[in-house]
Amino acid sequence: MSESDPVGTMAATPENETRRRSRRRKLVFTCVVAGFTLIEILAVLAILGLLMSMAVFFFGKQTERAHVTKTDSTIKILEGLITSYQGKKGGPPFDSLAKLKIRSNNDANEGAEALYAALHSKDYPEGTSIAEELLGNSDNDDTPTTYHRNGVTALLEVKDSWGNPIAYIRPESYGKQFRYVMAETDDPNDMEQAVSAQKSKVTGVWANADSYQLISAGPDQKFGTDDDVKNFK
């Protein structure tokens, strides 16, 4: 058999038959190896896709936990500042701008704005200023009232790690609804939300009935859902 006779048309001698069988085995082996290589590549690609999906999922969970931890830390900072204010003023800050005699051009974010205003009031010069990176103004309002010890006219709010205002409500306002404007939300229909104090899931009565509530809308950016970050259980 010559190299130009791949199908074995030459005389069927024992030597040629042996060569023919050897070539056939090589051809079959090559096809099998090539076939398994393709399957293996597809399997590897599938596994890589699965691993990447898992990595994205776990990265998202880690990021969410980091946001929750940071927001919880911010709420604890506020609790410390409110405790200091109580020590000087005899009670926590009002959650009403009117009670602080501050005029506003809208009624949005009032509790959060009143809390910031009280903690930075010119009538409370010994108060600690809140770090700027924790502040926002999601409704972009200000006031003609000279209230701030440093001359700030914007009615700011302390924001959570998602950039949304942290609601502040005193016991006398439990049962009342506040209007909050969000800075960040996945659903445009949630840019404005009605916020009210929450009740304990255990007792069914107002949580923190003798103090105040601080509430972040949490990861889903919706107040009143199970993932809210707050100063009570």
What is the structure's pLDDT at 131? 97
What is the structure's pLDDT at 172? 97
What is the structure's pLDDT at 164? 98
- Tell me, letter by letter, the H, E, C secondary structure of the chain: CCCCCCCCCCCCCHHHHHHHHHHHHHHHHHHHHHHHHHHHHHHHHHHHHHHHHHHHHHHHHHHHHHHHHHHHHHHHHHHHHHHHHHHHHCCCCCCCCHHHCCCCCCCECHHHHHHHHHHCECCCCCCCCCCHHHEECCCCCECCCCCECCCCCECCEEECCCCCECEEECHHHCCCCEEEECCCCCCHHHCEEEECCCECCCCCCECCCCCCEEEECCCCCCCCCCCCEECCC
Q: To the nearest whole percent, how much of the chain has pLDDT over 70?
A: 85
* Cα 148 versus chain centre, distance: 31
What is the structure's pLDDT at 14? 63
- The overall average pLDDT reported for the chain is 88
Residue 229's DSSP bridge partners are: 216
Q: What is the pLDDT of residues 176-212, one digit of tens each?
A: 999 999 999 989 999 999 999 999 988 999 999 999 9
Q: What is the pLDDT of residues 48-101, one digit of tens each?
A: 888 888 878 777 777 899 999 999 999 999 999 999 999 999 999 999 999 999
Q: What confidence tier does 47 reach under pLDDT thresholds 50, 70, 90?
A: confident
> What is the rounded average pLDDT of the residues 29-58?
74
For residue 85, count other CB atoms closer than 10 A to its CB.
21
What is the structure's pLDDT at 189? 93
What Rg value do the Cα atoms of the chain yield, rounded? 34
Q: What confidence tier does 12 reach under pLDDT thresholds 50, 70, 90?
A: low
Residue 154's DSSP bridge partners are: 142
Q: What confidence tier does 31 reach under pLDDT thresholds 50, 70, 90?
A: very low
Q: What confidence tier does 16 reach under pLDDT thresholds 50, 70, 90?
A: low
> What is the rounded average pLDDT of the residues 5-13?
53
